[in-house]
A = this chain, B = another copy of it.
Amino acid sequence: MNAIVEREKGLIELEQRIAALKTHAAQQPVDMTAEIRALETKYAEIQREVFGTMTPWQRVNMARHPKRPLGSDYIAALDQFDELHGDRHFRDDRAIVGGFAKLRGRRVIAIAQDKGRDTKEKVLRNFGMPSPEGYRKVIRLVQLADHLGLPVVTFVDTSGADPGIGSEERAQAEAIAQSLYELADASVPIVATVIGEGGSGGALALALADRVLMLEHAVYSVASPEGAAAILWGDAGRAEEAATRLKLTSDDLLQFGIVDEVIPEPLGGAHRDPVGVVASVLAAVDNALSALTVVAPEELRDRRYRKFRRIGAPAT
């Protein structure tokens, strides 16, 4: 069970009580204003207590919250979207959705990892874990964007690249390596936003970008907390501890210079106001693009080089 969903239970109960009270007050000639206000105050207090400062593990659970806006929610909120399918060679990987789009009137290529909402969709999208064909679709779309001079906008949300037999057989490592290789060379602006789980290389393959944005409660990690715990202590149960060690929160990554901008979420997480959050992400992306589209291609590539060149370089 998701730890955030667990913690939300008391709050939801309280929400329902307040709603019931309000209904009651509307139907009866008694003044319940004081009671309602008291409950609302209590609700706000608990909410602050529960969500005011969240541990890394709670953030992980928030990033995985079943109601959190998914890649396709961002795609759906674009002014216009025309999906382009397939890697041209083997398969259309539905874990990655991409195509032409308009973002606040601006023509772009938009690419999103999508985990799927219900069971059927989750299976269709392989729980958001891309296969090599997914990354090869990305490569193809980035080449198209480059050819047409369109910026690339990506939305990152994956527990990691698919670790199945077929994916290994069709060279998953090569696919990710080449996706990075393609982004490295693109002469158009690239803006990546980590909207949920940024799972290791499978996430980075869409995030070698000129600007890397991140939602407040998204996480972005070198390994999943469970995987890390299994390796470190032979006990996936110690994921919470691993989550703390891995420095995977937006604050940490902003500090490390790995993330350029953190987009705030409402108290309680993005799913408390999905429409608002999606809109503020798109606004931030649009903002980033405005600054980037005026930069000449060679300069853009040079800046991208320097941006990542700095990370982990010896201090000078």
A binding-site residues for B, Cβ under 8 Å:
88-90, 132, 136, 170-171, 174-175
What are 13 of the A-B contact pairs (CB < 8 Å)?
A88-B171, A88-B174, A89-B89, A89-B90, A89-B132, A89-B136, A89-B170, A89-B171, A89-B174, A89-B175, A90-B90, A90-B170, A90-B171
Additional pairs, 10, CB under 8 Å, beyond known A89-B171, A89-B174, A90-B170: A88-B171, A88-B174, A89-B89, A89-B90, A89-B132, A89-B136, A89-B170, A89-B175, A90-B90, A90-B171
Residues of B within 8 A of A170 (CB): 89-90
A171 vs B85: C-alpha distance when bound (angstroms): 14
Tell me the minimal C-beta distance from A59 to chain B in angstroms.
Answer: 36
A47 vs B246: C-alpha distance when bound (angstroms): 82
Tell me the minimal C-beta distance from A169 to chain B in angstroms.
Answer: 8
Closest to A174 in B: B88
Closest to A136 in B: B89
Interface centre among A89, A90, A132, A174 (most CB of B within 10 A): A89
The 6 closest A-B pairs by CB, nearest first: A88-B174, A90-B170, A89-B171, A89-B170, A89-B89, A88-B171
A136 vs B170: C-alpha distance when bound (angstroms): 14
Residues of B within 8 A of A175 (CB): 89
Closest to A169 in B: B90
Tell me the minimal C-beta distance from A72 to chain B in angstroms.
Answer: 26
A175 vs B89: C-alpha distance when bound (angstroms): 8
A175 vs B87: C-alpha distance when bound (angstroms): 12
Tell me the minimal C-beta distance from A96 to chain B in angstroms.
Answer: 16
Interface centre among A90, A174, A175 (most CB of B within 10 A): A90
Residues of B within 8 A of A132 (CB): 89
Closest to A132 in B: B89
Residues of B within 8 A of A174 (CB): 88-89
Residues of B within 8 A of A88 (CB): 171, 174
A88 vs B132: C-alpha distance when bound (angstroms): 11
Tell me the minimal C-beta distance from A184 to chain B in angstroms.
Answer: 16
